[in-house]
Each structure stands twice: as C-alpha cells, then as structure tokens.
Amino acid sequence: MKRGPTGNLKLTWPSKPTEVHAEPADLRLARIVTPLDGRPAAMRNRLIEGDNLSVMAALLPEWRGRVDLIYADPPFMTGKRFTARIGRGEDSRKPDEWLLDEGYDDRWSDPDAYLTMMYERLWLMRELLSEHGSLYLHADWHASHYHRLLLDELFGSEHMLNEIVWVYHGPSPVRRAFNRKHDTILVYAKSDEYTFNADAVRVPYDDATVKTFNSSRKAGFGKVPDLARGKVPEDWWYFPVVARLHGERTGYPTQKPEALVERIVKASSNPGDVAADFFCGSGTLPVVAERVGRRWLACDASPRAIHTTTKRLLDEPGCAPFEVWRMSEEHDADEHLQVASHLDGRTLQITLDLYEADAPADVRERVHDLRDLVDYWEIDPDHRDGVFRSRWQAFHSRARPELETCATFKVDERWSKQVAVRVVDILGRASFLNMDLP
C-alpha cells in the first residue's frame, strides 16, 4: 500500500491501471416494454444487458453527474460458480431435486484481476454520481477490506459516511470459526452536499427502551427522545435473507431482500431522483425504485438477470413502461414455435399453440407441457423499425402460477400489418416469430 497525494492509503497491485479508459458500448434499443396495467411516465427507465464497464462508459456523455444514488452488489470474489433455480413447485428442503441452470461466475484468475475489475467500475460510478449522490457498495468478508481502500482513494476517506453491517441468520458449514453471518455495505458520498433523509427511514424504538423512558425521568441522563417519532437506524441492520422470504424468491443466486434496498433508496434519494444498479442481478433495485417513485438505470451482463428483472418489474403493480437496451442483437434460439392468429373485424386474437425445444435430460424428465417449458412470452402487435414494442406479456411467477396462452387486441388502423412474438423458455433461450396479418 502507498499513500496518495491527499494522504489516503492507496492499494497497489501489478495490473492496477494508472488511468481508466473504457471503450463505450454501442448500445441499441431492443425492446420497449409497456406493462398491461402500467402507468404513464415522462421518462422511460432503462434496463441494459451488457458488460457494465463499457455500458457505463457509453452512458457518461448523457449521465455524467446526473445519477443520484448507486447501489452496487458486485461479485464478492468467492471463487464460486453460482446456479439459478428454474424449477417450479420444488421442495426447498431438497436441493438435490432442484432444476438448475447457469447463474453467474465469481471465479477469478487471481486477486489482481478482481481488483482491476472493481477499480475501473468504481471510477466510472464516481463519474456518474451527482454532487449530492451516494454510493452503497455491498460485499462480504472476502473483499470488503479491499473495497474500502479503493473507495478511500477514489472518493476520499473524508467522504465515507457509514460501514453498514447487514446481519442475518441461516445454516453454515463453518465448523472451525464463528459463523459468518453478516455482509458489509460501505457508503461514500460524492461531496459534502449529499442527500440523507433521516425521517424517511425512522424505525420504532425497542419496547424495552420505551418502557424505560416511560418509567423514569432520569433515563437517558436527562435526554428524552421523541418516542413517537422513532429513531434513525443504527449502522447494523437485521433483515432476513431472501431464502426465508418466500414471496420474494426468484431463484436467482445471491438475491438481496427488498426491505434492505428500500431503506437505502429512501435514505439517499428523493422522489423523482435517479437510482442505478450496474450489477443488478435479480433486479431488486429497479423494483424498489419503481415502487417508491424513483427513476432508475439497471445493467447486468447476464441474460438471465435481465429476464428475471423484467418479470419482477412486470409483477410490480403500476410499473411504468421501460426500455431494454443491448450491446448486440439478441440471439434467436430458433426453437420450434407455433402461433395462431385470428382477425375478426378489429379484434385480433393471438394464441401460443406449440413450443418445442431441445433440452437437457433432467429438464425433459420433468417438463412435459408447453406451459411448463415456456417461462415468458410477449407480443408486439404493431411491429416496425426493428424495435420490439411489447404490449402484452404472460409469464410464470408466484403471483401467476398458470401461463396465459391467448391474447386479444383491438387493432388500430394505423398499425402495421406485422405482429412479432418473443418467447423465453425456462433455460433463458429467446425465440422470435414474425407474422403478417391479412
């Protein structure tokens, strides 16, 4: 370690870049998703599939200094390859019977590669933050000590606001040390003018505290808190892990609880502000931001992450339309897809009749029906100019256990005569079909 010019310690390693030069991605608008019960919005939020280094570089011309909050939940340098659960109706107590697919890879050739990855991305996040913005960087014991030194260098140690400890319960394989049951969230501000809404995150005082102050005027050495107003939480937080939250679980690995992220969003942004997550994974940040009235940007390199986030947003009541951007055209798996259309006057009916696909043996053994193999499908009834405008969606979720296979539209005479259908199966493969109407 070395001391930087401001006196902060600087972490050095052989491959550390002296400057960050990221090639901007050539982002293209792939889809505009309009939820069936969505609300109008002045700005469409953006969900971006691609490597976040080049994605953030591409966003700089438009978004430099305009993002009010960034929550980052990057890989933790665990050395593991994580899988995603894709089966339905499985027994959570029997992991040997779960149907699994690729989640994300957290294996690194050496610590240098990980540190370089993080340093470059944290540098870009700082550039995107507004002057009253904050960064919340989530990690655990594997890498949080490295992160703190990187953030001290990039933001200045004087701009560190908190080291939040998220504590939780659960089984552990550790037998020769204390069970590791906490994560660390480092909070750094861009400047001294950062946003912090104390009243938005107050919690009730503990019952014992209330009882103590109500029973004695001498409690608290003469300082009596406003018991009715509640208190600002300490820097240790208890929230159950998602494995214990059946209503939130998506099957995506290392998903974070909504209550934890909601506290962050409410504390460090205002309604209408822009919150971002460039390691969005299962999509907790955009879902929470949508719910509490923030605009959002979200990015992940994994197609499954984008797919999972899309479904969660569509399950959120009143979700506003959002855009899906990509670095390249989406691969067409070209599985056998059969869709029927019927036009009766101005009423158009579209039915998903057949979907057949090659699948691994464990999937073929458990999936025998179209409704189980298809995870999501959507329709653009007025397809034009290469952008898929999704105006109808059906998918599996806890709230929607049965997949709808028939959609009905009132045809607008201004529409084109082409309908596009996009289907995503449980393995994350997307297939497309274009149809010409009579």
Indicate whether 148 belongs to any domain. Answer: yes
Indicate whether 384 belongs to any domain. Answer: yes
**Residue 381 shares a structural domain with residue 284:** no
Beta-bridged to residue 49, according to DSSP, are 300, 326
- What is the reported pLDDT for 2? 59
Indicate whether 385 belongs to any domain. Answer: yes
Q: What are the helix and strand counts (H, E) for the chain?
A: 9, 22
Count how many domains the chain has.
Answer: 2
Q: What percent of the chain has pLDDT over 90?
A: 71
**Residue 172 shares a structural domain with residue 72:** yes
Global pTM? 0.94
The CATH number assigned to the domain holding 408 equals 2.60.40.730
**Residue 267 shares a structural domain with residue 346:** no
Indicate whether 173 belongs to any domain. Answer: yes
User: What residues make up the domain containing 130?
Assistant: 18-195+235-326
Residues 399, 402: Cα–Cα separation, whole Å: 9
- What is the reported pLDDT for 369? 74
Tens digit of pLDDT for each residue in 139-187?
999 999 999 999 999 999 999 999 999 999 988 888 899 999 999 999 9
Tens digit of pLDDT for each residue in 346-366?
999 999 998 888 888 888 777
- What is the reported pLDDT for 398? 80
**Residue 342 shares a structural domain with residue 322:** no
Indicate whether 214 belongs to any domain. Answer: no
Tens digit of pLDDT for each residue in 246-290?
889 999 999 999 999 999 999 999 999 999 999 999 999 999 999
- Tokens at residue 366, please? 């458990």
Indicate whether 41 belongs to any domain. Answer: yes
Query: 3-state DSSP helix/strand/coil percent for the chain, to nearest 5?
Result: 25, 30, 45
**Residue 273 shares a structural domain with residue 374:** no
Indicate whether 257 belongs to any domain. Answer: yes
**Residue 66 shares a structural domain with residue 161:** yes
Please say which residue of 326, 348, 366 terminates a domain: 326
Tens digit of pLDDT for each residue in 180-222?
999 999 999 999 999 999 999 999 999 888 888 888 766 666 6
**Residue 123 shares a structural domain with residue 189:** yes
The CATH number assigned to the domain holding 36 equals 3.40.50.150
Residues 163, 184: Cα–Cα separation, whole Å: 7
Tens digit of pLDDT for each residue in 79-127?
999 999 988 777 777 887 788 888 999 999 999 999 999 999 999 999 9
Residue scoring higher pLDDT (343 or 72): 72
Tens digit of pLDDT for each residue in 6-65?
556 789 999 999 999 999 999 999 999 999 988 887 779 999 999 999 999 999 999 999
The alpha carbon of residue 353 and the mean position of all alpha carbons in its chain are separated, in whole angstroms, by 32
Q: In what order do the strands lie in the sheet with 392-395?
A: 392-395, 374-380, 418-425, 430-436
Please say which residue of 326, 348, 383 terminates a domain: 326
**Residue 258 shares a structural domain with residue 321:** yes
**Residue 164 shares a structural domain with residue 310:** yes
- What is the reported pLDDT for 333? 83
- What is the reported pLDDT for 218? 67
Residues 403, 229: Cα–Cα separation, whole Å: 45
Say if residues 270 and 243 touch (Cβ distance below 8 Å).
Answer: no
Say which amino acid occupies 333: A
- What is the reported pLDDT for 221? 62
Please say which residue of 326, 345, 375 terminates a domain: 326
Indicate whether 5 belongs to any domain. Answer: no
Q: Tell how strand 129-139 and strand 67-72 pair up.
A: parallel
Say if residues 1 and 8 touch (Cβ distance below 8 Å).
Answer: no
**Residue 380 shares a structural domain with residue 258:** no
**Residue 57 shares a structural domain with residue 91:** yes
Report the mean per-residue pLDDT for the chain: 92
Which residues make Cβ contacts (< 8 Å) with residue 376, sequence separation at least 6? 307, 310, 311, 393, 394, 395, 396, 423, 424
**Residue 170 shares a structural domain with residue 304:** yes
CB atoms within 10 A of CB 330: 16
CA nearest neighbour of 19 among 120, 149, 138:
120
